[in-house]
Chain A
């Protein structure tokens, strides 16, 4: 089971509280996790990555095990700790700054 933490606004949109726990088929990659999020919560389609190009939206970041995986190829395997459920995969809204 993969633990996923969504940002506040996406939790509200998906009408969920707290972490998600998702079954993600191997190999568990960034792409596979986003696929699983969208399959379980279809109204999040288009909010994390583009509908057509599947590119990450510019102000969305992906963190895991204190690493920024946003710029990694989407088929990069996630760290072992995420696969074991010891660490969550974080979808983050980038800082607004200002």
Chain B
């Protein structure tokens, strides 16, 4: 029987939640890396026992952790004695070294001046779909890095920042590559999304990138609502069977594209508010999508104190509230952009975590919900592995 492993990153450590296919009885492991901020934890599709985690701290900076046994034990990549010696005998310890390529240049700063690019942390790790040793890291200040040696070393794909990076300007939440989507049908195509930067696509494996923001309108965030870059994209998602169809939760507005981002159309429809952070796609129904409406950019909690996931079975525009098992009064949590995921079971399971420390699971495609855990630290990210 299949089982699921839910990987949860929080403000104070990582947690691993496991259950069988019924998804009713859960075991909780953690905190791993207790006391550290864990922005993201994600397993490799090519080897489910290979899991990468981004661990960071305001004091000690960035750490990359890797498990090769499904999360039981962890090590910083390349920390075995033989790994740690370079040919001339000196230790390396470079698994947390994220250095921008060449002359890093500048981006736009709050006062309109140009400001040097400065690495702050890894927001998102996206393992390759085919090679456990290869993964991509989305970082703040916005850039994408790649490892081909299991995380021992990372090298920037600098072409992304050449896609008008000098015009990107951080918002209050920072300026980070927070979403990386790998096209399962075209190994050369990757999509990324950047807060206060927009969405971008490469069709040559990361050498060159282009903005894909036509159709986005940011009337209250940008002086030019139709600007080529600078939109605050909160999250994008795709279904593996149709990688040209993307869904987006922008700062305001939910949108879709049917041509790989060349043109976007708003599909907010009857949502009570179209502000929010996560968006995801049902594992078996490519037109079924999920969002969590949040009241506004000034009030980061659900409208009316009611935590509601909204589901559209028509790829947007027509939305229904999913409430069974979710708090419908006095709920003022937020759901962050990387905190929603789906499993591959049938029926599909939907998961999301909150800033109040709850992780909710719906084992029936969103119809009913229950909390797996209720009192974790604020949840930064949720990923799911479906295991044989």
Contacts and interface: CB of A to CB of B under 8 A. Distances in A.
Contacts of B94: 45, 51
Contacts, number: 58
A51 B60 contact: no
Contact of B93 (A8, A44, A57): A44
A47 B96 CA distance: 9
A46 B93 CA distance: 8
B97 interface: yes
A39 to B, nearest CB: 5
Nearest to A60: B59
A64 interface: no
Nearest to A43: B76
Contact of B59 (A38, A39, A43, A93): A93
B125 to A, nearest CB: 17
Contacts of B58: 59
Contacts of B97: 45-46, 51
Nearest to B33: A12
Q: Which 4 A-B pairs have the closest CB atoms?
A: A42-B93, A45-B93, A42-B91, A43-B76
B101 to A, nearest CB: 13
Nearest to A49: B61
B344 interface: no
A42 B79 contact: yes
A1 interface: no
B323 interface: no
B220 interface: no
A65 B90 CA distance: 31
Given A9-B36, A38-B91, A39-B91, A46 B59 contact: no
A9 B60 contact: yes
A9 B59 contact: yes
A46 B61 contact: yes
17 contacts: A8-B35, A9-B36, A9-B57, A9-B59, A13-B63, A38-B91, A39-B90, A42-B79, A42-B92, A45-B92, A45-B93, A45-B97, A51-B94, A51-B96, A51-B97, A52-B99, A57-B61
Given A39-B90, A43-B76, A46-B97, A9 B62 contact: no
Interface in B54-68: 57-63
A20 interface: no
Interface string B9-40: 00000000000000000000000000110000
Given A39-B91, A43-B95, A10 B79 contact: no
Interface string B72-110: 000010010000100000111111110100000000000
Interface string A26-41: 0000000000001100
A46 B35 contact: no
A94 interface: yes
B84 A42 contact: yes
Contacts of A48: 60
Contacts of B36: 9
A7 B59 CA distance: 10
Contacts of B95: 43
